[in-house]
Structure 1
Amino acid sequence: MRVQTLCFCLSTALAALPVQAQDAEEGRALYTDFCAVCHGESLQGDGPMAELLRVEPADLTQLMKEGGFPVLDVAQRIDGRMQLRAHGGEMPLFGSFFEGQGRDVAMVGQGGQPVMVSRPIADLIAYLMEVQS
C-alpha cells in the first residue's frame, strides 16, 4: 500500500514539472516533409497529391473554427488513432514515425485537459496553431 502511495506522489510531482516548449519551426519542417504533399504549402488542402485522394484534404488553417484548437483530435489524426477514409485506413501512412520519438510532452487541450503527445506531434501542433486564420 505504501509503495502505491509513493508511486502516486512521485508521478504527480513529475507531472507537475515544466516541459520544454514546443518548437513550431521544427513543426514547420515536419509539415513540409510529411504533410504538404496532400495539404499543400498553403495548408489549405491543395497539395500535389490532393486530387488523387478519395476525400479532399482538410484546410488546416481553419482548425479553430469551432472554438479552441482541437489538440487531441489533431494528435489522433497525426498518429493514426483517428482513421480517415481518404487513405483507405491509417492516416497518415507514416503515423508510426511520430511515435516513440523521445519523452512525451504535455499539451493543453480544449477545456484545459492535458494531452500527452510525442515531441514531433507537439511540434507539428505548435506550428498548426500558429497558422490558424
Structure 2
Amino acid sequence: MRKTMNYVWMGVVAVLALSPAARAFPRAQQQEVASTGKAAAFVGSDLFRSYCATCHGEAAKGDGPLASMLKKRPADLTMFSKNNGGTFPAELVGRIIDGRKQVDGHGGKDMPVWGDAFKEAGGGSDEAAIKARIDALVRYLETIQVK
C-alpha cells in the first residue's frame, strides 16, 4: 500500500509541475531570473494556488479536491501560529515546504518534496530561485494565519 501511495504522489507532483497552469507563472519568472541573474519576486498566493491548493484547498484548511483521496488529510495551514503559541514559525514552515531535508516532528514524506519539484518546474533551477519560491509561500502562509 505504501508503494502505491508513493506512485500516487509522484503522479500528482508530475501533473501539477507539468500542467500548463502551474508552469505559466514560473515560465514568466524564468525570463526575469535569466535577465537579471537574481531570483524573481515570486507571488506566494499564485504559487499556493498552483502548487498547494489541490491538496490543502483554496483557503488552506486541508480540504482541497484531492484531500479525500489521500491516506492522511492535508494539514490546515492557517493554524501554524495558533499551534506555536501565537508566533508564526517561518523557518520551520520553509523547511517543511522544501522537504529535501527531513524536519523533526514533520513525520514521513506525506507531502511532495517541493524543493525538488520547483527545481524541475523551470523558472530558474538554481537554489536562489527555489528559495525565492519557498520564501514567497512562507510569507503568504503567514498572512492567512488564524489569530
Query: What band does the TM-score fall into relative to the shorter chain?
Result: 0.5 to 0.7
Q: Distance in 2 between matches of 1:90 and 1:79?
A: 13
- TM-score, normalised to structure 2's length? 0.56
Secondary structure, aligned partner of 1:103: helix
Corresponding residue for residue 128 of structure 2: 103
Q: Residues 44 and 58 of structure 1 are in contact (CA less than 8 Å); yes or no, is this contact kept in structure 2?
A: yes
Note the C-alpha offset of 1:90: 6.2
Q: How many residues align?
A: 97
Instruction: Report percent identity of matched pairs.
Output: 38
Structure 2 gaps, min length 5: 1-40, 120-124
Higher RCO, 1 vs 2 (CA within 8 Å, ≥6 residues apart): 2
- TM-score, normalised to structure 1's length? 0.61
Following superposition of structure 1 onto structure 2, how do residues 88-127 of structure 1 map, counting pairs within 5 Å? 89=109, 91-98=111-118, 100-101=125-126, 103=128, 118-127=131-140
Structure 1 gaps, min length 5: 1-22, 105-116
Corresponding residue for residue 143 of structure 2: 130
Corresponding residue for residue 70 of structure 1: 89
Corresponding residue for residue 48 of structure 1: 65
**Alignment root-mean-square deviation, CA:** 2.7
Note the C-alpha offset of 1:92: 1.8
Q: Distance in 1 between matches of 2:63 and 2:73?
A: 9
Note the C-alpha offset of 1:36: 0.2
Secondary structure, aligned partner of 2:74: coil
